[in-house]
Amino acid sequence: MKITELLSKIQGEFKISPFRILKILSKIEDKDISFFLKDSEVEISHQTFDFLLKHLKEGYPIEYITKKVLFLGNEFFVDENVLIPRIETEDLVILAVNLIKNKNIKHVIDIGTGSGAIAISIKKQLPKIKVQASDISEAAIKVAQYNAQRLGVNVEFKIGDCLDPFLKDIEEVELIISNPPYVETSFIEQNRFLKYEPRISLDGGYDGQSFFKKISKYSHLLKSKYLLFETSEFTVKKTAEILSTIGKVQILPDSFKKERFIFISPYY
């Protein structure tokens, strides 16, 4: 089908500007937008048209079509087994890297690593420190291992629930980072844009707090450590209260000035 035909079909069905359609097409086909702008005779395949419809109608993420996402300048492979890393999480990594440098931290763990975006980005920037990462999903760990290999970094990956895979050597760990599932169950059920990402990567239980409640049960093991968590601006205060049994809690904003991160440091 010619691009002109595609534009008139899509515009007939959705209220969307031709420029936005072309922007989406350029992402799906991994071409510069100028490729579509300069020639009205360009042929678009049926597969691309179907992907475009699936994206516009059902909110199917483009990143699952192209199988990639850019995170802090590195290209990560993603598929339906992992959450698509978000731009806010780049801020979490920047906070972590600054903290690691300031406190001369040598051993970091990332719980719920998904595509490996956090752990791999930290290791890329600070190759001398020890970085381990875990996930409860075996399929996610396979994606993370693939990304580490493609990006040439050495991160040790483990499968398991919450802190379990690290309990044996927890004494050595100095910083725990996590962007855990923190979305309230009812919100996921109402939001069509969240239906394609793994439920386990999003669902934080009825109040979004189930992971935080779980990790706070280990507070006796964590009192001398630094911890950095991502959460939602809507529930951050509740999360901070839950985690206050571990240490001194600070709420930090993301680049959009939303209260999103929780930083815990030892009381002494």
Residue 161 sits in the site that holds ligand SAM (CB under 6 A): yes
Q: How far is CA 79 from CA 139, 154, 199, 233, 236, in A?
A: 10, 22, 14, 27, 29
Residues 92, 179 contacting (CB under 8 angstroms): yes
Residue 180 sits in the site that holds ligand SAM (CB under 6 A): yes
Residue 137 sits in the site that holds ligand SAM (CB under 6 A): yes
Residue 181 sits in the site that holds ligand SAM (CB under 6 A): yes
Query: CB of 189: closest distance to ligand SAM in angstroms?
Result: 17
Kindly calculate the radius of gyration of the chain based on its CA atoms and give it in whole angstroms.
21
Identify the residue among 28, 109, 118, 240 touching ligand SAM (CB under 6 A): 118
Residue 61 sits in the site that holds ligand SAM (CB under 6 A): no
Identify the residue among 111, 148, 194, 246 touching ligand SAM (CB under 6 A): 111
Residue 97 sits in the site that holds ligand SAM (CB under 6 A): no
Helices and strands (H, E) in the chain, number of each type: 13, 9
Residue 204 sits in the site that holds ligand SAM (CB under 6 A): no
Supply φ then ψ for residue 150, to 5 degrees.
Answer: -60, -35
Token couple for 148: 């580490």
What span, in angstroms and rounded, lies between the C-alpha atoms of 157 and 96? 19
Residue 177 sits in the site that holds ligand SAM (CB under 6 A): no
**Cβ density class 207-230: b for 16+ within 10 Å, e for less:** bbbebbeebbebeeebeebbbbbb
Residue 95 sits in the site that holds ligand SAM (CB under 6 A): no
Identify the residue among 126, 188, 200, 251 touching ligand SAM (CB under 6 A): 200
Query: Using CB under 6 A as the criterion, which residues of the chain lie in contact with ligand SAM when the complex forms?
Result: 82-83, 85, 89, 111-115, 117-118, 134-137, 140, 161-162, 179-181, 200-201, 211
